[in-house]
Structure 1
Amino acid sequence: MADPLYYVDQSDVREGKLADVRAAMSDLADFVRAREPQLIAYRFYLDETASTMTLVAVHPDSASLELHMDIGGDKFRGFAELIRMRSIDLYGRPSEAAVERLRAKAEMLGGATVTVHTAQAGFSRPTT
């Protein structure tokens, strides 16, 4: 079994766009829930000032991340007017194709950095 991938991105909410961001987060979460049953977790967060949006996703493997990019590409573009993405951090061993697609997404949404972190120690327990 492949190790899961942990995806975390952070974005600045554009001035005056908070209500639109909240609606877009809800819409995208519903869209993903209906189309990607393989995802382990997919959560949006706002910080206490509601100026930073964070997305945390747990994919069972790199193929899941690539599928997510295929399915959600058009939806991601809808965030371009709402946020400025600062960073994407990916924890695990993604395919090169997945990393390249994340770099394109990061550029489209504000020029964010993409950093891949490889596991050095630890474990995951299976869920039931």
Structure 2
Amino acid sequence: MSGLTDFVEANESDILSYEVYFSGDGDRMTVVHMHSDPATLEYHVDAAGPKFSPVGELLELEAIDVYGDPGEDLLQRLREKASTLGTGRVSIHDLHEGFDRITTG
């Protein structure tokens, strides 16, 4: 995963955050990334998707959770990815209220 993370950092300057977490027993991996808009997520799917393929063979994807509206085309692509790698569950979470204090540096 460090190779994928290095690739994303070097090639996706508009991504706000990209982090990989493992459970204490190493059985579960969670990848969290934050985008300023759907276009940066779409770019990520296009740019990093092929780099993820070798790792994808070792994983069973349980879910993709999207916070905000990615648009129908991107949502369909995410559903296809989820179906190919695992259960096919994609959940969209609409913003109710809140604020961001994101700084880049």
TM-score, normalising length: structure 1: 0.76
Matching of residue 78 in structure 1 with residue 61 in structure 2 = no
2:67 matched to 1:91? yes
For structure 1, list consecutive stretches of 5 or more residues without a partner in the other structure: 1-24
SS in 1 for 2:95: coil
Deviations 1:76-95 (A, max 9, x none): 22223211000110101211
Shift in Å, 1:126: 4.7
Q: Secondary structure at the match of 2:99?
A: coil
Query: Where does 1:40-119 land on structure 2 (aligned, <5 Å)?
Result: 40-119=16-95
Give 4+ residue runs of structure 1 displaced > 4 Å after superposition: none
Q: Taking every aligned residue pair, what percent have the same amino acid on both sides?
A: 43
- Give deviations 1:7-57, integer Å, cap 9, x for gaps: xxxxxxxxxxxxxxxxxx111101111110001100000001100000000
Equivalent residue, structure 1, for 2:7? 31
Normalising by structure 2, report the TM-score: 0.91
Cα displacement string for residues 53-108 of structure 1 (whole angstroms, at most 9, x for unaligned residues): 00000011000000011111212222232110001101012111111111111112
More helix by share: 2
- C-alpha distance in 1, partners of 2:102/2:32? 19
Letter in 1 for 2:39: A
Cα separation, partners in 2 of 1:119 and 1:82, compared to 1, 3 Å = same
Instruction: Give the number of the structure whose residues are more often strand, by fraction.
Output: 1
* Coordinate RMSD, CA, aligned: 1.2
**Distance in 2 of aligned mates of 1:62 and 1:35:** 17
- Give, in angstroms, the shift of residue 124 of structure 1: 1.4
Uncovered stretches (5+) of structure 2, i.e. residues with no partner: none
Structure scoring higher RCO (CA < 8 A, sep ≥ 6) equals: 1
